[in-house]
C-alpha cells in the first residue's frame, strides 16, 4: 500500500505489526524454543523495547491516519508527541533495572493507549468513516493495558488474560483492513470527483477557448473581408486615377487638332462671306476666284487632316478605355493592343524628354483580360515617369514582347532612370510602400500590378535594379488566362 500511495502511516503500521510479532514471540515463549534458554535476558530486553516502540508506532499510525496535525494541532502538540517521546525515553532504563523499566513502560503504554483512544475518537469526528479503526484501537488498547498490568503483577496471570492480547491484535488487524479499504475507497471516490471536476473545468476552458478562437476567427474573417473590400476599392480608385490621367491627356491632345480645324473653318467661313459679297457687287475676278478655290481646298484639307487626327485619338482612347473599365475576357493581338495603349499613354510624357521604344513580336494571339493587362502596363509606365524620371529627368523606356513557347509570353519593361536601392527592391510590390508619399504617392501602383499579373492574368513578375541603372520588370503570362 505504501508503494502505491506513498503515505508513511502504512510504514508505521507495518513496523508496529512486526514489533508486535516479536513481542508476542517472547510473551508466549516461542523465542525460547527457537533460540534457547541462553538468550532469555536478551529476549526480555528485546520484548521490552519492542513493546514500548510498537505502542508508539501505533499512536504515530493513528496520528497520520486521522490527520491530527491538520485537524487537532493543539492535541497533537501537547498530548500525542510528548507521550511518544516519553515511552521512547524509558528505553535506556532497562539495562539497569528491568523491573523498573517494565513498570514504567507499562504506565507509558497505558498512557499511550489512552492517547490513542482519545486521538482516534477525536479524529473520527473529522475524518469519516474510521469507526472500525476506533473499535479496533479501543479493543487493542484495553488488551494491551490488561497485558501490561498482568506483566507487572497487578492482575493474575490467567490463560484468558494471556489470550486477550492476541485477540486484541487480531481485532486491530481486521479493523485496520476495514479502515484502509474504506479509506482507499474514499480516496478513489475523491480522485474520481476531482477528475470529474477537472474534466468539467477542462471542458469549460476548452469551450471558452473555442468560443474565443471562434470569435477571433470571425473577427479575422471580418477584418480580412474589410481588407479585401478596401483593397478592391483602392484598386478601383487606382484604375480610375490612371484612367483620369489618360482622359486628361487625350483631352489636351485632341484639343490641338480640333483647335486648328476650328480656326481653319472660321477663316474659311470668313473667306466665303467675302467671296459672296464680291459676287453680289460684281467685283469678282478670275484671279480672285482662283485664289478663293485654292484657299478653300487648302483649308478643307487642313480641317480634314486635323479632324482625322482627333478621330484617331478618340478611337484609340475608346479602345483602351473600354478595356480599362471592363474586366471582360476576350481574344486580341498583343502587338496591336500594346501599340494602341502606348499611343494613348504617350500624351502623359509627350512634353518631357522621355521616349518609349516598343519591340513587340507580331502575330501573338492572346485569350486573356486586356483591361488588366492595360492597367499593368499603365502602372509600369507611370511608375517609371514618377520614380525613374523624377525632376524632369530624361531617358528611355523599353517595352518588349516575345513568345516563350506555344503557351507563354514574356513581357519586359525597363527604363534607364534612377533605379531602386538594393534594400528597397524586395519591398516594391508591398502594399503602401512608396518613396513619394509626401508628393501624394499611395504605394499601390506596383502592388496592384503584382495582384493583376499573378491573380488575374495567372502569370509571374520579378524586378531587377541597381541605383543609377534603372529598373527592369520581367513578366511571364499564359496566352490563355486561367
Residue 322 has what pLDDT? 46
pLDDT at 326: 54
Domain spanning 329-482, CATH architecture: 2-Layer Sandwich (3.30)
pTM here is: 0.43
Q: Exposed/middle/buried for 480, CB within 10 Å: 0-12, 13-18, 19+?
A: middle
Query: Which pLDDT score is estimated for 370?
Result: 87
> What's the pLDDT score for residue 448?
80
Q: What local confidence, expressed as pLDDT, does residue 108 receive?
A: 63
Burial class (CB in 10 A: 0-12, 13-18, 19+), 258: middle
| Low-confidence residues in the chain, pLDDT < 70 | 23-52, 54-55, 76, 79-80, 83-84, 86-133, 148, 151-153, 157, 159, 161-162, 231-253, 313, 315-327, 432, 435-444
Q: What's the pLDDT score for residue 442? A: 59
- Over the stretch 230-247, which tens digit does the pLDDT of each residue have? 766 666 665 555 556 556
Q: Measuring CA to CA, which residue among 123, 133, 7, 113 is closest to residue 69?
A: 123
What's residue 90's pLDDT?
Answer: 65
Q: Domain spans of the chain?
A: 2-157, 329-482
SS3 annotation, the chain? CHHHHCCCHHHHHHHHHHHHHHHHHHHCCHHHHHHCHHHHHHHHHHHHHHHHHHHHHHHHHHHHHCCHHHHCHHHHHHHHHHHHHHHHHCHHHCCCCHHHHHHHHHHHHHHHHHHHHHHHHHHHCCCCCCHHHHHHHHHHHHHHHHHHHHHCCCCCCCHHHHHHHHHHHHHHHHHHHHHHHHHHHHHHHHHHHHHHHHHHHHHHHHHHHHHHHHHHHHHHHHHHHHHHHHHHHHHHHHHHHHHHHHHHHHHHHHHHHHHHHHHHHHHHHHHHHHHHHHHHHCCCCHHHHHHHHHHHHHHHHHHHHHHHHHHHHHHHHHHHHHHHCCCCCEEEEHHHHHHHHHHHHHHHCCCCCEEEEEEECCCCEEEECHHHHHHHHHHHHHHHHHHHCCCCCCEEEEEEEEECCCCEEEEEEEECCCCCCCCCHHHCCCCCCCCCHHHCCCCCHHHHHHHHHHHHCCCEEEEEECCCCCEEEEEEEECECC
Q: What is the per-residue pLDDT for 398?
A: 93
Quick check: 15 and 33 in contact, CB under 8 A? no
Amino acid at each position: 500500500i505504501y508503494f502505491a500511495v506513498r503515505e508513511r502511516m502504512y510504514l508505521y503500521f507495518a513496523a508496529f505489526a512486526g514489533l508486535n510479532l516479536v513481542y508476542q514471540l517472547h510473551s508466549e515463549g516461542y523465542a525460547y524454543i527457537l533460540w534457547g534458554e541462553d538468550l532469555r535476558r536478551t529476549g526480555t530486553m528485546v520484548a521490552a523495547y519492542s513493546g514500548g516502540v510498537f505502542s508508539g508506532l501505533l499512536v504515530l499510525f493513528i496520528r497520520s491516519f486521522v490527520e491530527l496535525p491538520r485537524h487537532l494541532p493543539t492535541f497533537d502538540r501537547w498530548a500525542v508527541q510528548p507521550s511518544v517521546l516519553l515511552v521512547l525515553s524509558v528505553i535506556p532504563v532497562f539495562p539497569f533495572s528491568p523491573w523498573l523499566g517494565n513498570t514504567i513502560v507499562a504506565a507509558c503504554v497505558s498512557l499511550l493507549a489512552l492517547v490513542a483512544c482519545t486521538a482516534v475518537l477525536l479524529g473520527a469526528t473529522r475524518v469519516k468513516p474510521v469507526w472500525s479503526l476506533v473499535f479496533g484501537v479501543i479493543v487493542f488498547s484495553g488488551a494491551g493495558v490488561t497485558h501490561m498490568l498482568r506483566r507487572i503483577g497487578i492482575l493474575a496471570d490467567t490463560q484468558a488474560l494471556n489470550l486477550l492480547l492476541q485477540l486484541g491484535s487480531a481485532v486491530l488487524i481486521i479493523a485496520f483492513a476495514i479502515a484502509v479499504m474504506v479509506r482507499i475507497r474514499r480516496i478513489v471516490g475523491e480522485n474520481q470527483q476531482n477528475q470529474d471536476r477537472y474534466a468539467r473545468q477542462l471542458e469549460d476552458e476548452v469551450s471558452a477557448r473555442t468560443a474565443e478562437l471562434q470569435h477571433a476567427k470571425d473577427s479575422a474573417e471580418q477584418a480580412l473581408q474589410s481588407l479585401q473590400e478596401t483593397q478592391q476599392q483602392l484598386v478601383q480608385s487606382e484604375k480610375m486615377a490612371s484612367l483620369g490621367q489618360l482622359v486628361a491627356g487625350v483631352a489636351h491632345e485632341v484639343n490641338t487638332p480640333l483647335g486648328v480645324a476650328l480656326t481653319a473653318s472660321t477663316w474659311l467661313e470668313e473667306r466665303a462671306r467675302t467671296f459672296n459679297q464680291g459676287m453680289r457687287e460684281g467685283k469678282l475676278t478670275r484671279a480672285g476666284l482662283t485664289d478663293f478655290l485654292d484657299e478653300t481646298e487648302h483649308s478643307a484639307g487642313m480641317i480634314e487632316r486635323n479632324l482625322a487626327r482627333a478621330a484617331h485619338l478618340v478611337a484609340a482612347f475608346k479602345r483602351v478605355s473600354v478595356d480599362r473599365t471592363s474586366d471582360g475576357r476576350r481574344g486580341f493581338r498583343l502587338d496591336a493592343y500594346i501599340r494602341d495603349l502606348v499611343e494613348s499613354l504617350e500624351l502623359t510624357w509627350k512634353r518631357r524628354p522621355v521616349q518609349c521604344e516598343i519591340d513587340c513580336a507580331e502575330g501573338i494571339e492572346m485569350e486573356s483580360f486586356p483591361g488588366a493587362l492595360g492597367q499593368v502596363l499603365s502602372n509600369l509606365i507611370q511608375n517609371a515617369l514618377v520614380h525613374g524620371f523624377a525632376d524632369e529627368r530624361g531617358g528611355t523606356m523599353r517595352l518588349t514582347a516575345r513568345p516563350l513557347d506555344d503557351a507563354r509570353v514574356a513581357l519586359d519593361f525597363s527604363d534607364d532612370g534612377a533605379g531602386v536601392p538594393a534594400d528597397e527592391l524586395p519591398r516594391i510590390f508591398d502594399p503602401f510602400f512608396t518613396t513619394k508619399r509626401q508628393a501624394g504617392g499611395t504605394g499601390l501602383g506596383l502592388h496592384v500590378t503584382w495582384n493583376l499579373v499573378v491573380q488575374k492574368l495567372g502569370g509571374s513578375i520579378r524586378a531587377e535594379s541597381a541605383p543609377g541603372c534603372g529598373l527592369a520588370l520581367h513578366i511571364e503570362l499564359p496566352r490563355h488566362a486561367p
